[in-house]
Every structure is written in structure tokens, then in C-alpha cells.
Amino acid sequence: MAADEGSGSGSAPPSLQDLTIDNITPNTIKINSQCKNQRLKYVMERLVTHIHDFARETRISTEEWMAGLNFLVQAGQISSDVRHEFILLSDVLGLSLLVDDINHPKPANTTEGSVLGPFHTHDAPTLENGANMSSDPQGEPMVCICNVKDTNGKPIEGIKIDIWETDSTGHYDVQHSDRNEPTERCVMLSDANGDFWFKCILPVSYPIPHDGPIGKLLEKLGRHPWRPAHLHFMFEKEGYDHLITALYMRGDPYEASDAVFGVKKSLIVEPQRIDAATAKKYGVPENSWVLKHDFVLTTDQETADLRDKLATEALAKLGLNLKLVDHLPVPDLD
């Protein structure tokens, strides 16, 4: 056979003829190794290896292969400015959770991350502390009283906080075709004490969009599409590790079966019925819920150090000869 057997990593391109189940992988890797970007070259080598091994281990049929490719086209075509079906796919396959854990490992006693999901937008209005981010009169009113500190217990002032939730029917604003403006979402800034507080509605459980290919996949797998009730938070300030997280309402029927694997015990919270004094202080009705939560954020440096340490340990355990360049593994050829 003419095709290169894949031994050696010389610079001559392989002769790509007579490729078979046995020699296609080293030859694909070799032709891709013309790539000048060492990181991309490594990522592609692992990608090609895993895709080919998947095909060999499943002996995937031509019909299954074509069904898979058509599934991917459908996922792309149902996606839009306000719907990202591939984030959903990544979510239901556990990949999003894994990527978050790789990139944002948390020291003990800091706020854990959760999945971003496909519903964050960039058009949320910046609101003053105390404002109401929900315009849904059907929701049960809730006031959230929060604080954000660093790992030394020092309040973080002026951190940007993106907050978003569904309306009382379990839909994000972008899921309504007649959406004119953002609702049930806002951006806030913490004050000098690290405090921020806002009015919203008690979150409800809801199914992830299941009218597309991902919904059909879950159905075939015998899985439900539900997420337990939660409120999304994203924290952003230079010098601090970008934190994407959510608070989950205790007692939700889907608390232990989140379709996208986002629940952490440390993120489960229990809203209380508000007392009269607090209701008066925050200007909310006496039948409101109140949720108090303190967030603890790491610095970029703390997270980068922990991520590099865990990466180095994990790669050594995998037996791969790699080094970190710009915090990302590439083959160590020295």
C-alpha cells in the first residue's frame, strides 16, 4: 500500500492513496500536522483519533453515519441569534459541565460554577440596586439580597453581575417570538460593601427547548428535558475569574435529575417567606419570597494556578508527554 504507515513525524507529506480502516488515522494526523499552530495541531490529533476510534469501536453503519451528519445539519439550521442548539447538545452530553470544571476549578469555600446554557444575551439593561428585573405579574415576587467577596473575605466593589431567569411559564424572553425588549434579565453592579439586591420572581422548573433535534435525541434516550428551578448569575471584573453559576431552589422535583447536569449541592438555596420589616425595607409585598446568598469569588491568578496544577497532574496521570503553553497542553518535543 502507498499510504504512509504513520511512523515518524518527518516533514514530508504522506502519500494519500489506498487508505483503509487500519492506516487512515496516522495519515490524517500526518497531513494535519502541516499546521503551524502547535495547539491546534494537538487538538486536531486528539479529535481525529477519537472520531476514528468511535467509528471503529461502533463499526458505525453508513446509514447511522448519514443520520448523524443530518442531525448536525438540523442542529445548525434550528440555531439562530437567540438559539444555540449546539450549546444544548454540549449541555445534555455533559460536555459543558466538564469544560466548566476544567477551566474554572474552585478552591474550597468559594462559589462553584454551573452551566451557562443557551439563554444568556448581551442586551440586558443595567439596573440600579433594588430594581425589579421581572415584568411578569403572574410570577411569585421575590427579593434577592446578595453579597460578593474575595477569598480573603474582602467585599468586591463594582463587579458586573449578569442575572437572568425565565418568566412564570418557564420561558426565557428570547423564546417568545414577539419579544420586543429584554425581560427577566438585567446587569447590576455591586456597591462598596459588595452588596447587590434586586426584585425578581421565584424561579420555576422548565424543559430545555425540546422541539428540535436535541429534544428528539433525549426522547430516544428515555431522558426528560427538565431543569430544576434556578436563577442564573455571571460575574465579571478584571482580575477576577469569570464566574458563571446559578442558584437552584431546594425541593424542586428535578433537583437530582437536571437534564444538563448543572446542580451542585452548594448552589441549592431555600427562599423564605419575607418578614414584614424586610418587606418594608425593600419595598416588596408581604407575600414575597426572600433569598439571601453570599458569593465568594477567586482571582484570575488563583484560578489559573489551580487550573495549571490540576492540568499538570491530570496529564501526567494520562501518560501523555505534554507541556503547558499559555496554560494549554501541547506536545512536549524538547
Residues in 145-204 that interact with a second copy by CB under 8 A: none
Query: Which of the residues 256 through 275 are near a second copy (CB under 8 A)?
Result: 256-258, 261, 263-265
Nearer to a second copy, 15 or 272 (CB): 15
Query: Which of the residues 208 through 267 are near a second copy (CB under 8 A)?
Result: 220-223, 255-258, 261, 263-265
Q: Check binding of 10 to a second copy (CB under 8 A).
A: no
Q: How far apart are CA 48 and CA 54, in angstroms?
A: 10
Q: Check binding of 34 to a second copy (CB under 8 A).
A: yes
From candidates 125, 320, 321, 323, binder to a second copy by CB under 8 A: 320
Q: Check binding of 65 to a second copy (CB under 8 A).
A: yes
CB of 64 to a second copy, least distance (A): 7
CB of 286 to a second copy, least distance (A): 34
Nearer to a second copy, 218 or 279 (CB): 218
Q: Check binding of 205 to a second copy (CB under 8 A).
A: no
Query: Which of the residues 298 through 317 are near a second copy (CB under 8 A)?
Result: 311, 314-315
From candidates 60, 304, 316, 325, binder to a second copy by CB under 8 A: 60
From candidates 5, 9, 38, 98, binder to a second copy by CB under 8 A: 98
Which long-range CB contacts under 8 A does 13-18 form with residues at least 24 apart? Answer: none
Q: Check binding of 50 to a second copy (CB under 8 A).
A: yes
Q: Check binding of 325 to a second copy (CB under 8 A).
A: no
Nearer to a second copy, 62 or 177 (CB): 62
